[in-house]
Amino acid sequence: MLDIRFIRDNPEIVEKALKKRNYAVDSFKALKEIIKLDSEWRDIKKEEEELRAERNRLNIMIINKKKEGKKADKEIKKSSDISGRIKEISVETEELEGKRNALLIQLPAVPHESVPVGEDERKNREVRKWGRPAKKSRDVLPHDRIGEMTGWIDFERGVKLAEHRFSILKGPVAKLERALINFMLSVQTTHGYTEIAPPYLVNTKAMTGTGQLPKFENELYRCRDDGLWMIPTAEVPLTNMHAGEILDEAQLPIKITAFTPCFRREAGAYGKDIKGLIRQHQFDKVELVKFTAPETSYDELEGLTQDAERILQLLELPYRVVELCTGDLGFASAKTYDLEVWLPSQDRYREISSCSNCVDFQARRANIRFRRGGKLECVHTLNGSGIAVGRTLIAILENFQEDRKTVRIPKVLQDFMGAEEITFA
């Protein structure tokens, strides 16, 4: 959530940010209404302050008159009237704050000045590449074809048990996924992240704190009888672990990681990536989250991105790093790098991780602060996939495929797998 003081002092910056993000007309209307409600709130708070000062003055007069044995009926009556008005103002300010905050949570984060301006992903900027793609579509069988041939990726039974975009992994592929999870967590915990095993269901307050609600309600799975939501990413429970807390400056940065399944309805994605494991309603991911001081958060973003890259480098998977433009940024992000791994069957790089600095946007919504001296400040929160397990699985099955019948196991996974290769033909 944006700081109302920032909007109050910099309305033109927020308006420009909305334009850069290509947000709808409704967002500009919301911004104008927020400014209007805030002005009304400040006027009425000023009246409250003046009335309290007047009541204090009257109370002193009443005390002095009583000491002198004089009547103070007039002052007592006026003080009582003022107290009644102050109570009315309390109700009015609460209503104004409620209306203002309901609109505030609809506004996205302001992009960092370094973020390239653009309407959509076509304006994203390639930052760097690592590794050289050795295979193309003519050289490999797609992962979904391997799954169908061997039965190791069972799409039909996934549909039978749930619906379209669910699947079952079997045998060597299921073991490879488990090996990847163990490997990713082992790497990140070695580099200073504390492993967390969070709930897979969270409440509405947690979803609101990280920005999934109210904007993305249609993309989420909800347990309606309990008021709980299935997590779309471990970012939600990890970030909200410190909701409503005051941290000490000495604790920062806090670095945590978790493996969880992720659940997304993909309501707007029908017709996209309908084959294979690319876009599932349930998928596994290792998530990285940081809580940092404001002045170090962009340096920490570079570090977090490198932490995610390290997984791909150790797995010897070619990838590139892309900086997202303003029109492609996530709702809560001020700056994001996407990691895109090479998928031979598609002759293209595909996203496998997003690493974002959400600055104080989530911390303000979730009320996560730290104490610096005698002052309280919002922390900055960062998150990134470290990395998406299913897409890593795809990348290995295709990039390490030999003669369309064998998949070599990357060296760093061989101990986890207890094998050097998988033969499927």
Going from N- to C-terminal start, the domains of the chain cover 4-104, 121-423
Average pLDDT, the chain: 95
Length of the chain: 425
Contact 356, 333 (CB under 8 A): yes
How confident is the model over 209-237, as a mean pLDDT? 96
- Say if residue 260 is exposed, middle or buried (CB neighbours under 10 Å; 0-12, 13-18, 19+): buried
Structure tokens belonging to residue 102: 């309901």
Structure tokens belonging to residue 157: 């039974």
121-423 and 4-104 share a CATH fold: no
Structure tokens belonging to residue 121: 């992903």
| Catalytic choice (21, 55, 100, 264) | 264
At residue 154, does pLDDT exceed 90?
yes
- What topology is assigned to 4-104 in CATH? Helix Hairpins (1.10.287)
Alpha helices in 10-106, H assignment, sequence order: 11-20, 25-67, 73-104
pLDDT of residue 24: 81
156-211 pLDDT tens trace = 999 999 999 999 999 999 999 999 999 999 999 999 999 999 999 999 999 999 99
276-302 pLDDT tens trace = 999 999 999 999 999 999 999 999 999
17-49 pLDDT tens trace = 999 999 887 889 999 999 999 999 999 999 999
- Say if residue 409 is exposed, middle or buried (CB neighbours under 10 Å; 0-12, 13-18, 19+): buried
| Catalytic choice (351, 371, 377, 421) | 351
Note the pTM of the prediction, 2 decimals: 0.93
| C-alpha dist (Å) from residue 54 to 51, 59, 89, 243 | 5, 9, 15, 39
Active site residue 385: no
How confident is the model over 75-91, as a mean pLDDT? 95
| Catalytic choice (8, 279, 310, 320) | 279
| Catalytic choice (297, 353, 354, 385) | 354
- Position of tokens 């708070």? 45
At residue 268, does pLDDT exceed 90?
no
- What topology is assigned to 121-423 in CATH? BirA Bifunctional Protein; domain 2 (3.30.930)
| Catalytic choice (100, 235, 391, 398) | 391
Active site residue 279: yes
At residue 68, does pLDDT exceed 90?
yes
How confident is the model over 366-394, as a mean pLDDT? 97
pLDDT of residue 267: 66
Q: Residue 87: CA atoms inside 13 Å, Cβ hemisphere, count?
A: 6
Cα–Cα dist 150/389, whole Å: 20
Active site residue 320: no
Question: Which residues on neighbouring strands pair with residue 153, listed in sequence order?
Answer: 169
Which pLDDT band, with edges at 50, 70 and 90, does 111 fall under?
very high
